[in-house]
Every structure is written in structure tokens, then in C-alpha cells.
Amino acid sequence: MLLTLINQKYKYFTNNISIADLLVKVKSTGIYLLVPIVNFGVSIVTTPIFAKHLSASEFGIFGYFASLSTFIGCFYGLLFQTYYMSAYFRESADKRKQILVTLLLFNILWNVFFFPISYFGLLFYFKITGLSMPFYPYALLTLGAAVLGGYKGFVQVNYRLGEKPFPFFLIVSGYRVLSIIASLYFVVFAEMGLKGRLLGVVLVEILFFVISLSHILKKQEIRIDKEVLKHAFKIVLPLFPASFLYLPLGSFDNIVLARMDQPSEMGLYNIGKGIATYMYVALFPFYQTFEPNIYKNIVNKNIKALKSTGLILLLIVSISVIAFWLVAPMIIDFLTAGKYHGAVKYANILAITNGLMIIFSFFDAIINALQATKKHLLINSIIAVVCVCSYTLGGSYFGQIGVAYATVGTFVVLILLQAGFVIRKFKRSVAAF
């Protein structure tokens, strides 16, 4: 009787979510949290080793090519994962498999054609801009990893939206651990420096590419469904320029920094950026726990549940950023073997950016679930202009620290634009918005 009463009261204040449902969420969150725990545990052991064997300039080169690969990466993936996520709860299990096989096969054929174009196009960019940054083999290895890495993302989507956190943990953390081990071998024992760091990643990407193909294509008819492909392009084509316009938020900072021609300071910035990303990695499991419900609630028009989810995520992000500020100096000193304390100031600022990325992901999932691709395009067109202007001006007047602050300001503007659209979309349904 008492448990029934407690459950009824709990459901009243939590939009009819039962205690049993909450326990399932807690269990899922716990498993998802194993991902950052394993990743961070590996980083604690290995990051100081990489810091001893790689120079600040190499960290700068690594960050620069990683940024360039994100620009090109949306062309490799064709945003098919985004389409698959939006269609996941709208189709039957058999239809989903048919969609997935079609998207995967066409994407492979596309990259056979597009990868060499992207590589030589980037080489031409280096020639005409006269960048002093070394090109080969860093570009080849980075872009190769970007192409191969997209396919395991389809498997991860299946596990996330299918609410299978343990297989998700195995594929994500398994990739992380193996890629670090391979990179350590080439960096430390083969003494290949940054080349070895990237080579280790590429070899493990090849392994997971094979695993992903066997998982997706097992017992499936190997064919491309033209109707599925036609509908997918109908959805993603308006979203394509929108997604491309969003990319400068995470990548244009290194393009601005490269033009300052201060590779060591650029390296400190990227070390701080990389360590601040750990906070995002730690927070993302909380978002992943709620992500399937975001799509379900949009389909079921349960706006109150969406509001509750957003408030919970905002609270978690706020507490996490404050906690990061308290421990960042100690973490960076340890992870960089005391060599790169100058990265602390960048990490503290970029931690805010990484927290805002969780809030962005929440609103982005809502807009994706609504398949409001035109709104994506409008919002991201505005934010791309804001990004380029703010990053450029921040770098011109305040140097590297100005670029870091510009990332925070730009994400704030982006979230306000997203929230404005969502509020207008549902104001007739829920007065609380």
C-alpha cells in the first residue's frame, strides 16, 4: 500500500514516469557512464605518456587536421545517421533494417568516389594558401580515419535508440581502448611521433569497419532500395547545408589559430580543448539515456516530459562545469606530466562550451525528430556567420584566449535560436513553454 502510494505521488510530479521506469533509466545511465569512466581511466594512464613523446607543435597539428576532418566528414557520412535516427521510431523493425542496409551500401560507394576528391582538394587548399603546416601523411591518415569511422556510428545508433546500453558500451569503449593501445605502440616503441598516433587510430578503424559491416549486413539482402534512398535524400538535402554551416563551431577555431602561426600556443589551446572534451564525454551518457525518449516524446507530443528532461540536463551541466573548474589545474598537470600548465586557461573556458554542447544536443534532437530541416538550415546559416565573425574578431583582438571565449558566445546564440524555434512550435500545446 505504501509503495503504491509513493509511486502514485511520484508519477504525479514526474509526468507519469513510474519508479520502475526511473530505475531502468538509472541502470541505463550507469552503463552509459562506464564509457567515460573507461575512457577517462585509459586517458589518466596514457595521456602523460603521449605528452612526453609528442611536442606542443604536434598537438597543434593533430588538432588542426582533426578540425579539417570534421568539415569534410559531413560529406563522407551524407548525414545518413541523422536521417536513420529520425526514422527509427517511425518504422517497423524490418523496415529499419532495409533502410540501414541501403544507407550503408550507398555510403560506401559514395566514399570510394569522394575520398580521393577530398584529399586532393585539401592538398590544393594547402598549396594556394601557403600554409606552413606539414600535409603528408597527416592529412591522409586523418581523413582515412574519418571515412572509416562513420560506419560504426550506425551500429551505435541502433544500440542507443534500441536502449541497449551494454553493447553500446562495448563498441565505444572497445574502440577507444584498442585505438589507444595501437597508438601507444607506434608512438612509444616504434618512435613514430604524431604519425604513429594517427596510424594506430586508422588500423583500429579498419577493424571496426569490418565488424560494423558484418553486423549490419548479416542475414540481410545486399541491395540498395531506390525508394528508401530517394526519401533519405529528400530529408537530408535541406539539412546538409545546415549541418555544414554548423561545423565551424567546433572547427573554425583551429583555422583561425593556424593563421596566427604560433604552433606552440596552438598546441596548448588544443591540449586544453582535448581535456575539456572529457567533460563532454562524461556528460553525454546522461543525454544518451534520455535521447530515445526525446524522439518518442516528439512523436507522442509529450511536451511536458521534454521540458523536464531539458531542466534536468541543464542542472547536470551547471554542476559539472563548476566541478571541472575546481579540478582542472590538477588534472592538466597530471595528464601532461607537468609540461603544459598553460593549457588550464583554455580548458576552463572551453569546458563551458562543452557543457553548452549538451544543451545544444537536446534541442537538436527535438528539431531532428520534428524533421524540421528548413529550420535547421535557417538557424545554422545565422550561427555560421556569427561563428566566423566572432572567432575571427576574437582572435584578431584578443589572440587565442579571444577565440576560446568566442566559442562560448557562439553556442549561447545557437541555443537561444533553437529554443526560440521550439517555444514557438509548441506554445499552442503547452503554456509552460
Which amino acid type is present at position 53?
H
Q: Residue 332's closest CA among 57, 53, 11, 47?
A: 47
pLDDT for 365: 85
User: Measured in whole angstroms, how far is the alpha carbon of residue 50 from the centre of its chain?
Assistant: 23
With residue 345 as reference, give the H or E element that holds it: helix 344-369
Question: pLDDT tens, 218-255?
Answer: 878 888 988 889 888 888 877 677 666 766 677 788 88
What digits encode the pLDDT tens for the residues 298-312?
Answer: 877 778 878 888 888
Nearest in space to 180 (alpha carbons), one of 199, 152, 163:
199
Question: How confident is residue 24, by pLDDT bands cut at 50, 70 and 90?
Answer: low
pLDDT score at 27: 62
What is the average pLDDT across 351-361? 92
> Regarding predicted confidence, which is higher, 270 or 25?
270
Residue identified by cell 601507444 is 184
Cβ neighbours of residue 329 under 8 Å, at least 6 residues apart? 341, 344
Q: Is residue 372 left, alpha or beta, with left meaning phi > 0 and alpha meaning psi from -120 to 50?
A: beta
Closest CA to 84 of 71, 68, 101, 67: 101
Most confident of 57-71, 117-131, 198-212, 332-346: 198-212
pLDDT greater at residue 337 or residue 326: 326
Residue with C-alpha cell 540501414?
Answer: 100
C-alpha to C-alpha distance for 328 and 343, rounded to whole angstroms: 10
Whole-model pTM: value is: 0.66
* Cα gap 286→28, rounded to integer Å: 9
Looking at residue 247, its pLDDT comes to: 67
Q: Which helix (H) or strand (E) holds 265?
A: helix 263-300
Rounded to whole angstroms, the Cα distance separating 250 from 273 reads 10
Q: What percentage of the chain has pLDDT greater than the value 70?
A: 89
Integer Cα distance of 342 and 345 in angstroms: 7
Question: Exposed e or buried b for every residue in 255-272, given b needs 16+ CB within 10 A?
Answer: bbbbeeebbebbbbbbbb
Give the type of residue at 408: V
Cβ–Cβ < 8 Å for 60, 270 = yes
Rounded to whole angstroms, the Cα distance separating 378 from 126 reads 31
Question: pLDDT-derived band of residue 25, with 50, 70 and 90 as boundaries?
Answer: low
Considering only residues 378 and 327, tell me which one the structure prediction assigns the higher pLDDT.
327
Give 246-257 pLDDT, tens digit per residue: 666 777 888 888
Mean pLDDT of 343-362: 93
| Domain chopping of the chain, boundaries | 14-426
Distance (Å, whole) CA 271 – CA 40? 15
23-36 as b/e, with b when 16 or more CB fall inside 10 Å? Answer: eebeebeebbbbbb
- Reply yes or no on whether the pLDDT at 61 is more than 90: no
pLDDT, tens digit, 9 for 90 and up, residues 388-426: 999 999 998 998 999 999 999 999 999 999 888 888 877
Hey, CA dihedral for 164, 88, 415, 272, is it positive or negative? positive
CA angle in degrees (0–180, nearest 5) for 200-256-202:
10
Per-residue cell: 195: 604519425
pLDDT of residue 235: 80
